[in-house]
Amino acid sequence: MTTLLIRPTTPREWKGLFVLYLSCCFVYYLTTWQAYGGFSGGHPPLLNLEEFVASAGLKFAVFLCLSLLLFRLLPRADDPTSGIYFWVQPLIGLVLFVLLSDCLQTVLLDRFKWVHFFGGRLYVFNYLIAGGFYALQCSFLAALKFSGRETQELRTQQEAKRPETPWILVRKGKTEVPLVRGDIQYLKACGNYCRLRANDQSYLLSMGIGAAEQRFPDLPFLRIHRSYLINLNQVVRIAKVGRKHQVELEDGTILPVGAKYLPTLSALRD
């Protein structure tokens, strides 16, 4: 069970978040400009830089800084000890976001002597805008993650249906390089991606290590660690160093062996 706190983890999600901020910033600017009279009030759009920065740029700059801070400080809690924590953590994030954004905006507006667009009886709108944007941001990131997961699953299914060939194509920079399947030495998990090692070269695959394991069912691949998947044909020996075990591959590469994977590895090697 994962927490409701959504955070960007891939370049696609970071780019989407950046576009969301720019769009909301511009919409907020036009809304406040129109509320203050538009053309009839003597406020030409996009030309009054001070009003733009004060009403929109400052607000969403504060939102962005606070979001980055909360993304880093609040734990992800993939395995929470209490079901209550699943709901409490995002609520804590929401409260901190609303209160801190209001304090920072007030200090900065007073410092630069810019106008408070929602003062007096309208002050509650500051809290509503901050809370609404926080919810929108989390929903937007959740939608990106869901669509990305579906796309990855569809790609994996399509690749699984392809006829097996003695070689595969992997991307290196802007070109695709053919690799003989048997030359693959090992794969290393890198977040939502994995890095493939073959012929003393490294290639980044746009799939997780679990999906990569399913892509090569015909090869003697074995998981030896939560981060490593090796080609058994490349293993030279298994060594014990202190209390831990390691495997040595034909090219001299040393990889760690997780305790729960050791029995399976030893049985297959024997």
HEC sequence for the chain: CCCCCCCCCCHHHHHHHHHHHHHHHHHHHHHHHHHCCCCCCCCCCCCCHHHHHHHHHHHHHHHHHHHHHHHHHCCCCCCCCCHHHHHHHHHHHHHHHHHHHHHHHHHHHHHHCCCCCCCHHHCHHHHHHHHHHHHHHHHHHHHHHHHHHHHHHHHHHHHHHCCCCCEEEEEECCEEEEEEHHHEEEEEEECCEEEEEECCEEEEECCCHHHHHHHCCCCCEEEEECCEEEEHHHEEEEEEECCEEEEEECCCCEEEECHHHHHHHHHHHC
Weakest-pLDDT range from 42-56, 128-142, 177-191, 204-218: 42-56
Q: Which CATH superfamily is domain 167-269 in?
A: LytTr DNA-binding domain (2.40.50.1020)
**For range 102-117, the mean pLDDT:** 81
**For range 247-267, the mean pLDDT:** 85
Give me the chain's average pLDDT, please: 77
Q: Which of 143-152, 183-192, 211-220 has the highest mean pLDDT?
A: 183-192
Single-letter residue type at 61: A
| Polymer length in residues for the chain | 270
| Predicted confidence (pLDDT) at residue 62 exceeds the cutoff of 60 | yes
Percent of the chain clearing pLDDT 90 (strictly above): 2
Domain ranges of the chain: 11-158, 167-269
Residue 14 is predicted with a pLDDT of: 86
| Predicted confidence (pLDDT) at residue 4 exceeds the cutoff of 60 | no
pTM: 0.50
| Predicted confidence (pLDDT) at residue 3 exceeds the cutoff of 50 | no
Weakest-pLDDT range from 89-103, 157-171, 237-251: 157-171
For 210-233, how does the pLDDT look when each residue is reduced to its tens digit (9 = 90+)? 887 777 766 778 888 888 988 888
**For range 53-75, the mean pLDDT:** 79
Report residue 42's pLDDT band, with 50, 70 and 90 as the boundaries.
low
**For range 236-251, the mean pLDDT:** 86
Single-letter residue type at 223: R
Residue 171 is predicted with a pLDDT of: 72
